[in-house]
Amino acid sequence: MSDYTFNMGPLRSAIHIQLHTHNATRLWTGRRATENGPAPIIGMPRFIEILNQIRIASEHDDPYADLWMLRIEEKLAQSRKIMQMMLEQAKALFNELPEGIDIESCLNVQPARFPLFINAPLAYQGVYLLTDFDQLARQLLLASHIAVLSRRDMHHWLNRGASVIRSAFSLAQKYQISGLKRRDFIDDTPQARAVITRCGPLPEAVLSGKLRSSYSPPLSSAAQNTTSGATHDE
């Protein structure tokens, strides 16, 4: 049988997000710092960038990157549950409509469209959270327009939903690169002790590699040898 050599390139897919409300678009872009103005707020591009940095650090066997990926995964899961609950409550407002009133989905005739360049799978959960909020905002704006929700309550709900996303962004913004590997912490080097002082304690399950995010990249062979060696030493 003849031998065949296949020269295949990597898989590629163009992915975009569409947002139908100014409320969601503002969360995407964030808020820049201005002199004597309100504090800056990071947007989705910066959030994605931070998640990509965490993924790269995790690939380089930084246990603190694994810890932060766990924290952000948990935060996003909780945030999406809250947003889905709010969305269900918003949809229930339309149950008050009398018979004979038929309302189609509320969509922007010219939605904002942004390309997604994401190398960290977990970052997509942040994107999904924003699309959840965009859907919530559409429901609330429509409910207010047809008088099943007051403008005051609409703004209250919108602020609550936006704060859920800003809270997730704020958590990611606290991430600090340690620049070290698992071996440094296992060997209890001075650099490792300095990082622990600066970044807080490192759970043993995270250090050993037993506890990792569902979206963590695979441990390298060297990292696996380090963690198995640490387990054996115990």
pLDDT tens for 69-117 read 999 999 999 999 999 999 999 999 999 888 888 888 888 989 999 999 9
Three-state DSSP state, 103: coil
- Positive or negative torsion for Cα 44, 49, 51, 52: positive
**pTM above the 0.75 mark?**
yes
Closest by CA to 30, choosing from 44, 49, 17, 20, is 44
Closest by CA to 139, choosing from 84, 90, 88, 86, is 90
Q: Are 24 and 130 in contact (CB under 8 A)?
A: yes
In tens, the pLDDT along 169-190 reads 999 999 999 999 999 999 999 9
In tens, the pLDDT along 35-49 reads 777 778 899 999 999
- Domain definitions of the chain by residue range: 41-96+117-207
**Cα(128)–Cα(121) distance, integer angstroms:** 12
Residue 103, pLDDT score = 85
